[in-house]
Structure 1
Amino acid sequence: MQVDLLDERHYSQAMRKTVLPALDACRSEGWFTASAGSHDLHHHDPGKIHYVCFDAHAFDALHISGATAIFRGAVVISHGLTEFAEKFNELAWYFLLAGYSVCIIEHRGHGQSARDVADPDLVWIDDWNRYAEDMSYFCSQIAQEYADGLPLCLFAHSMGGGIGAAVLEQRPTIFDKAVLSSPMIAPRTGLPNWLAAAFVSSACAAGFSKRMAPGQRPFVASARVQDVENVSASRANWFHALRMNNMRRHTSAPTYGWVRESLKLSHSVLQPGMCARIETPVLVFQSGNDDYVLNPPQNRFVQQVRDGGCPAELIRVDNGPHELYSMPNPAMGPYIDRMISFFNDPIRL
């Protein structure tokens, strides 16, 4: 399926006048507490996980030009490190046009979800399994309702891709299709990851768990992207403006504790026995110019999923940026089309 991409020359105008009003008309939000096994759809609690959903039926009632008007299920979006729900509004728009409801979870330490550090710049987690538990609960108890008996698909980027891979292994029947985009199967730390694991574990033991990790920096309000290679300046500047508008979107740096847990997650999802548990067809998009995650572990993950008997395909986007959904339209088009075609293809039993 081909979708009409937003015109980069008039991107902000299209988002404000067309996309956002339509999304607002079919949007709902809520908070839940996964560990308690309950969720509250109306009231914000600082100890809870926030989510945003867009209903395809309400979207179709708007009679948007280009919408398929055929309900196909729901797509869960699992975002990356320091991201937030609103950053994926454009992607949600394309999924809605294709007939899918969209459910976006804001992971712990991000957006409007629970935080355990006072500094709004920092992301910390004490145990990476909490990410997977939150997401499993969200998908099984909330997103499934939006799928309404039809396929529940996953789009997961970077850190969200690592969390998504863990959920695919731990809950093999929760998704019908999964797209992992530049997934954090293993983070890029600047050191061999075995050495980085020893270093950050020692730092955490010394009381630095909630300190900013080496090489990171606080949120920079003046940062703007102009003519960065292989990135749409219109999209990148829109993303930055979203950050500027809300302090809870200023998250910009992982802590020692987060790095420690990201390496533990990587070790877990790359176990051959865990990869063999996956039953969901997987499509992995790999950035050929990735500064944040490592490519070889992605290759290994895909091969091990195949070895376990599950369909898995890797598509390498040569010179693509880490955030593939920020590419200029000539590259963005094939990326979006391939993803939606994958979701639309009949599930082969």
Structure 2
Amino acid sequence: MQVTMIDERTYAQTMTDMVVPALEQCRTEGWFAPATAERAAGLEPLVGDVIGDSGSHPGQLHYLCYDAAKFDAIREEGATATFRGAVVISHGFTEFAEKYDELVWYFLLAGYSVCVLDHRGHGKSARNVENRCMVWIDDWRRYVVDLAAFAQTIGQQYAAGMPLNLFCHSMGGGIGAAVLEQYPTLFDKAVLSAPMIAPATGMPLGVARVLVGVLCKLGFSHKRVFGQGDFTPEFSMKGNEGASEARERWYFKLRCENPEYQTYCAAFEWVRQALKLNRAILSPSACSEVETPILLFQSGRDIWVLNKPQNRFVELVKDGGGEATIVRFPESRHEIFSMPNSTFRPYLEQILKFYDDPMIASASY
């Protein structure tokens, strides 16, 4: 479908004056209790948050949902007014639900309700470390169980019998890939945007596994990874050269205004679990379980995740009888949705075409 993109020259004004107010009129904020699903999966629930909204919602996960019917009632220009189902968004490392407001806006215009879960340790969700800037997780399977349970309940509620689709980015893409393997009939279609099938560690993955494993055993599990720092309120495009500065400044503004959004570095245990997730995802037997058609977007200038494991994942899914296609943006940075409109537009149009077209799963781009 034809998409009218937000003009980057007036980006902040448009977000402030039009997009955010419209989203607020159709948004529901909620808290999801994952304990029952985690126990069923053999995981002991984590409670007793160190920071976050532990007083009112101990151990719970924060989410934002956007109702397509309420959005259509606003009568925004460009809205299809045709309900197509729901999209569950699985965000990336150190991100938060509100960062996806622009993408949510486009999904709503296209007729989709949207549900965004703050993964554990992110945004306003429960976390178990003292440093609000650091992300820690004890077991990668917790991410997977939580996302699946959220989609099975809140996501299906918003889909209302129509297709339930998945959009995930980076770390959220690794989590999403594992969900597709373990819950093969949960989603109708899935977009994996620069997914963390394997993180970029600066060294061979095997060496990283051994090193991080030793450090965690030596008591560094809750320590910040060497060379990483806490969030500081100083804007910079370093590492994001070529991205849309207007979008990057908007995300930065959100971080500055919300202490809960200032996650910025990894604990050693998070890295250890990311590497365990990588090994689990690329199991041929796990990949053969995937039934959901997948569209995987790859960033040619990615410095955060590795491209070759993404290729391997798609190969294994196809070898197992599944449907998976790679679309590569050679000049894009890791966050394709943070690039200028000249890149973001074709990316978004392909996502919407994939979701909308019942025959697109067997097509190539």
TM-score (norm 1): 0.96
1:335 aligned residue: 347
1:245 aligned residue: 257
Please give the alpha-carbon distance, in whole angstroms, between the structure 2 residues aligned to 1:185 and 1:120. 26
1:288 aligned residue: 300
Please tell me whether residue 155 in structure 1 is matched to residue 163 in structure 2.
no
2:21 aligned residue: 21
Cα displacement (A) at 1:224: 3.2
In structure 2, relative to structure 1, the CA distance for the partners of 1:66 and 1:219 (3 Å cut) is same
Q: Work out whether residues 34 and 134 of structure 1, in 8 Å CA contact, stay in contact via their aligned partners in 2.
A: yes
Please give the alpha-carbon distance, in whole angstroms, between the structure 2 residues aligned to 1:229 and 1:67. 33
Amino acid at match of 1:290: D
Please give the alpha-carbon distance, in whole angstroms, between the structure 2 residues aligned to 1:136 and 1:221. 34
Question: Alignment partner of 1:267: what SS?
Answer: helix
Please tell me whether residue 172 in structure 1 is matched to residue 184 in structure 2.
yes
Question: Alignment partner of 2:31: what SS?
Answer: strand
More displaced stretch, 302-311 vs 259-268 = 302-311
Please give the alpha-carbon distance, in whole angstroms, between the structure 2 residues aligned to 1:293 and 1:106. 21
Please give the alpha-carbon distance, in whole angstroms, between the structure 2 residues aligned to 1:217 and 1:27. 33
2:334 aligned residue: 322
Cα displacement (A) at 1:228: 5.0
Q: Work out whether residues 178 and 281 of structure 1, in 8 Å CA contact, stay in contact via their aligned partners in 2.
A: yes
Deviation string for 1:264-286 (max 9, x for gaps)? 00000001110110000000000
Please give the alpha-carbon distance, in whole angstroms, between the structure 2 residues aligned to 1:226 and 1:276. 39
Please give the alpha-carbon distance, in whole angstroms, between the structure 1 residues aligned to 2:288 and 2:219. 37
TM alignment of 1:1-349, pairs within 5 A: 1-37=1-37, 44-225=56-237, 229-346=241-358
More displaced stretch, 234-243 vs 207-216 = 207-216
Amino acid at match of 1:112: K
TM-score (norm 2): 0.92
Please give the alpha-carbon distance, in whole angstroms, between the structure 2 residues aligned to 1:152 and 1:215. 40
Q: Work out whether residues 88 and 151 of structure 2, in 8 Å CA contact, stay in contact via their aligned partners in 1.
A: yes
Please give the alpha-carbon distance, in whole angstroms, between the structure 1 residues aligned to 2:161 and 2:302. 37
Please give the alpha-carbon distance, in whole angstroms, between the structure 1 residues aligned to 2:302 and 2:221. 26
Give the count of matched residue pairs.
345
Question: Alignment partner of 1:266: what SS?
Answer: helix
Deviation string for 1:171-194 (max 9, x for gaps)? 000000000000000000011011
Deviation string for 1:12-37 (max 9, x for gaps)? 01001110011000000111221225
Cα displacement (A) at 1:227: 11
Cα displacement (A) at 1:225: 3.0
Please give the alpha-carbon distance, in whole angstroms, between the structure 1 residues aligned to 2:7 and 2:157. 33
Question: Alignment partner of 2:165: what SS?
Answer: strand
Q: Work out whether residues 227 and 233 of structure 1, in 8 Å CA contact, stay in contact via their aligned partners in 2.
A: no
Please give the alpha-carbon distance, in whole angstroms, between the structure 2 residues aligned to 1:52 and 1:235. 20
Please give the alpha-carbon distance, in whole angstroms, between the structure 1 residues aligned to 2:56 and 2:140. 23
Amino acid at match of 2:101: N
Cα displacement (A) at 1:46: 3.1
How well do the aligned residues superpose, as a CA RMSD in angstroms? Answer: 1.5
Q: Work out whether residues 299 and 328 of structure 2, in 8 Å CA contact, stay in contact via their aligned partners in 1.
A: yes
Please give the alpha-carbon distance, in whole angstroms, between the structure 2 residues aligned to 1:194 and 1:265. 13
Question: Alignment partner of 2:19: what SS?
Answer: helix
2:43 aligned residue: none
In structure 1, stretches of 5+ residues that fail to align are none
